[in-house]
Chains A and B, each alone.
Chain A
Amino acid sequence: SAVISQKPSRDICQRGTSLTIQCQVDSQVTMMFWYRQQPGQSLTLIATANQGSEATYESGFVIDKFPISRPNLTFSTLTVSNMSPEDSSIYLCSVVDSLSSGNTIYFGEGSWLTVV
C-alpha cells in the first residue's frame, strides 16, 4: 500500500492567518483527496485534487477558502485560508492505491489544526 506523509502533523494557528498542509506519497497514485474531520464528527470530503488542473470541490467547500494544488502524481497541498476557530479540525490526505484491487483508499496521519 502507498505510504502517505503529511506535514505539519499539528499546529496552532492565529485567527485570520492561512496554513498550507503538504501531502507526499511514496508512489504515483491516480487520485488524491482531502478530508476534514471536525472534533467528534465523521470525515467529510473537501475536494478531489486533480493533477495539473483545478481541484473538484464538494458542496460547501470553495477554492478561495481551501485552495489545493497537485503539481504531480505524488504530491498535493491544501491551504486553509483566513482561518477561524470553526476551521479547527483534522485535515486528512488520502489516496487511491492504483496497485490494489478495487478502489481502496489509504489515509495519511492527518494534520491537526487548532485556530485560536
Chain B
Amino acid sequence: AQRVTQPEKLLSVFKGAPVELKCNYSYSGSPELFWYVQYSRQRLQLLLRHISRESIKGFTADLNKGETSFHLKKPFAQEEDSAMYYCALSGSSNLFFGTGTRLTVIP
C-alpha cells in the first residue's frame, strides 16, 4: 500500500538556520516523489520532484531508496519560506499526500 509519512506537523527555525522537513514513504514499485508547498492564501503548488534533481528556491530533496526517504532541505531558511509543505507520492498518476509540515521561519 502507498503511504507517505511526515512526522513533524510543526517546525520552527530561525532565519538563516538550516531546515530539513522529513518525509518517509512506503511503496512496492518505483515511486515518483514530490514536494508541494502552500503559502498563506495561495494555491497548492509544486515545489520540486525527485526525477528533476533540481534546486528550487534553495530547496533540494534527495530520494533515498534504502531509507525510503525524501527529505526536503535548505541550508539557510528565509522568512518567505514559511508555509505548509506536503510530501507526495505518485504511484499511478494520482498522488497520495503526507499530512504536511507547517514551517515557520522566525525572523
Chain A interface (Cβ < 8 Å from any Cβ of B): 30-31, 33, 41-45, 48, 92, 94, 96, 101-110
CA distance A83 to B88 in the complex (A): 29
Cross-interface CB contact of B51 among A43, A102, A109, cutoff 8 Å: A102
* Contact (Cβ within 8 A) A110 B32: no
Q: Point out which of A42, A44, A94, A96 has the most chain B C-beta atoms below 10 A from its C-beta.
A: A42
**Majority secondary structure of chain A interface residues (helix, strand, loop or mixed):** strand
Q: Which residues of B contact A (CB under 8 A)?
A: 32, 34, 36, 43-46, 49, 51-52, 86, 88, 90, 93-100
How far is B95's CA from A43's CA once the two chains are assembled, in angstroms?
A: 9
Q: Is the interface of B mostly helix, strand, loop or mixed?
A: strand
Residue in B34, B86, B96, B98 whose CB lies within 8 Å of A104: B34
Partner of B32, one of A103, A106, A107, A108: A103
- B34, B86, B95: residue with the most chain A Cβ atoms closer than 10 Å: B95
Contact A42 B98, CB 8 Å, known A102-B51, A103-B93, A109-B43: yes
| Identity of the chain B residue whose Cβ is nearest the Cβ of A90 in the assembled complex | B44
- Chain B residues with Cβ below 8 Å from A94 are 95
B94 engages A48 (CB within 8 Å): yes
CB–CB B46/A42 < 8 A: no
**Additional pairs, 14, CB under 8 Å, beyond known A41-B99, A43-B86, A102-B51:** A31-B94, A33-B95, A42-B98, A42-B99, A43-B95, A44-B97, A94-B95, A102-B32, A103-B90, A104-B34, A104-B46, A105-B88, A105-B90, A107-B44
